[in-house]
Amino acid sequence: MEIREIPVPDVGDSEVLVRIAACGVCTMEANLYAGRMTVYPAAAGHEIAGWVERVGAKAAGLDDMPAVGDLVTIDGLPRCGTCRSCRAGQSAICVALQGHKREDGAITMGAGLADYIKVDASRVWSVGDTDPAVAAMGEPLACVVHSLRRGGFRAGDRVTVVGAGYMGHLHLAVTKALQARSVAVVERDEQRLAAIAAAGADAAVTPGDLSQLPRADVVFVTIASKEAIAVALASVGDGGRIVLFGGSPDGPPAELPGYEVHRRQLTVTGSFSHDPEDWRAAAELLRGGALTGRLETLVTARYALDEVEKALKQAAETPVYRVVVTP
Ligand SMILES: [Zn+2]
Ligand SMILES: [Zn+2]
């Protein structure tokens, strides 16, 4: 890991310069630091919030375009715009999602662990007046909004969330805010179970106690394991939907019970990353302020930019919700 000094970038006509206020350390950054992901050299940090410092001439003044001084949450993961998925409006599964080369040779995968960032004006979203560490949760929130959309979530749905980690908490917070009938959480770890019960889950049980739960209209699986998928199949109601949100390339394959899916009309779908419309909704959830208290409790630690290695180490080596770097 090294810190590089590079000039503050110039912005083009359709770009925005943002002074970074906070950047969350996600699994990608933790994996890059720990050597579990080896795309080097990578300029990482894709959960970004900051204050707009300059807006390019073509973007300035457009309807709903952030203005100088606004706190924004940033979609820092570049999409190509030209692959088949992008052209079909599914930029979440863009083939070029792994980033592009910066002038200094670093592969940009957010590049938010920095003082400044230049982004396309289409990728900044005003969030009003909120804690920047919370505003930096725009990216994971957009992932969760995407997950709800993939699962066809509607107000009044009974929800079950499998896993009480950071993403489990965000699914609880967002489905509650959008009027789920009830939200139950299934988790193995007693401490995490107690924490999510305190955060407002209607029920919080271990995988052995599924019979206590109402059958769910939609189940969000936020951890990657064979057991988590089995829990989802056992807790979903007839006609229900299962969203595989958590995933790992080396996770064990699960068996799909074909007859059950057929006879009970189940839908099993995947959710990965986010599309622009998910960002609009996520920014609005942040701006509304209803989630702020819940989200603040998910900030495990805050570090200054010159302590970035400590932040990466903590996220890579210990259980955390979110470690946030605040330049
Ligand atoms: Zn992330
Ligand atoms: Zn693409």
pLDDT tens digit string along 206-226?
999 999 999 999 999 999 999
Please indicate, yes or no, whether residues 25 and 133 belong to a single structural domain of this protein. Answer: yes
Please indicate, yes or no, whether residues 193 and 247 belong to a single structural domain of this protein. Answer: yes
Consecutive H or E run containing 118:
strand 116-120
Range of the structural domain that residue 124 is part of: 15-142+274-325
Tell me: pLDDT of 280 over 70: yes
Q: Which of 247, 270, 293 is the last residue of a domain?
A: 270
The runs of H, that is alpha helices, within 178-275 are 190-198, 226-235, 258-263
Closest ligand, as measured to the CA of 75: 1
Residues 174, 194: Cα–Cα separation, whole Å: 19
Please indicate, yes or no, whether residues 181 and 78 belong to a single structural domain of this protein. Answer: no
Residues 132, 296: Cα–Cα separation, whole Å: 10
- State the average pLDDT over residues 186-204: 97
Q: Report the SS3 class of residue 158.
A: strand
Distance 322 CA to ligand 2 centre (A): 28
Please indicate, yes or no, whether residues 24 and 133 belong to a single structural domain of this protein. Answer: yes
Does 41 sit behind a cis peptide bond, omega within 30 degrees of 0 on the bond before it?
yes
Residue 295 contacts residue 137 (beta carbons within 8 Å): yes
- In this structure, of 146-150, 252-256, 261-265, the range with the lowest mean pLDDT score is 252-256
CATH number for position 206:
3.40.50.720
pLDDT at position 154 is 98
Residue 162 token pair: 């499998």
pLDDT at position 127 is 97
Distance 6 CA to ligand 1 centre (A): 24
Closest ligand, as measured to the CA of 140: 1
Please indicate, yes or no, whether residues 135 and 163 belong to a single structural domain of this protein. Answer: no
Which tens digits make up the pLDDT trace of 171-180? 999 999 999 9
Closest ligand, as measured to the CA of 48: 1
Residue 52 contacts residue 44 (beta carbons within 8 Å): no
Please indicate, yes or no, whether residues 290 and 266 belong to a single structural domain of this protein. Answer: no
The runs of H, that is alpha helices, within the chain are 27-34, 84-87, 132-135, 138-150, 166-177, 190-198, 226-235, 258-263, 276-288, 292-296, 308-317
CATH number for position 20:
3.90.180.10
Q: Which of 270, 287, 313 is the last residue of a domain?
A: 270
Residue 212 token pair: 């206590």
Please indicate, yes or no, whether residues 157 and 227 belong to a single structural domain of this protein. Answer: yes
Placement of tokens 């310069």 in the chain: 17
Residue 8 located in a structural domain: no
pLDDT at position 104 is 87
Residue 124 contacts residue 72 (beta carbons within 8 Å): yes
Residue 4 located in a structural domain: no
Please indicate, yes or no, whether residues 122 and 171 belong to a single structural domain of this protein. Answer: no
Residue 319 located in a structural domain: yes
Residue 3 located in a structural domain: no
Adjacent-strand bridge partners of 218: 159, 241
Residue 9 located in a structural domain: no
Tell me: pLDDT of 80 over 90: no
Please indicate, yes or no, whether residues 100 and 169 belong to a single structural domain of this protein. Answer: no
pLDDT at position 255 is 85
Please indicate, yes or no, whether residues 95 and 119 belong to a single structural domain of this protein. Answer: yes
pLDDT bin (cut points 50, 70, 90) of residue 250 is confident
Residue 1 located in a structural domain: no
Closest ligand, as measured to the CA of 112: 1
Residue 10 located in a structural domain: no
Please indicate, yes or no, whether residues 38 and 136 belong to a single structural domain of this protein. Answer: yes
Tell me: pLDDT of 252 over 90: no
Closest ligand, as measured to the CA of 282: 1
Please indicate, yes or no, whether residues 306 and 282 belong to a single structural domain of this protein. Answer: yes
Task: Give the chain's domain count.
Answer: 2
Tell me: pLDDT of 169 over 70: yes
Distance 270 CA to ligand 1 centre (A): 17
pLDDT at position 109 is 82
Q: Which of 270, 289, 309 is the last residue of a domain?
A: 270
pLDDT at position 98 is 64
Residues 317, 165: Cα–Cα separation, whole Å: 15
Residue 245 located in a structural domain: yes
The residues whose Cβ lies within 5 A of ligand 2, an ion, are 80, 83, 86, 94
pLDDT at position 247 is 85
The amino acid at 215: R
pTM to 2 decimal places = 0.96
Distance 256 CA to ligand 2 centre (A): 30
Give the chain's mean pLDDT: 95
Q: What angle, rounded to 10 degrees, do the helices at 138-150 and 166-177 form?
A: 70
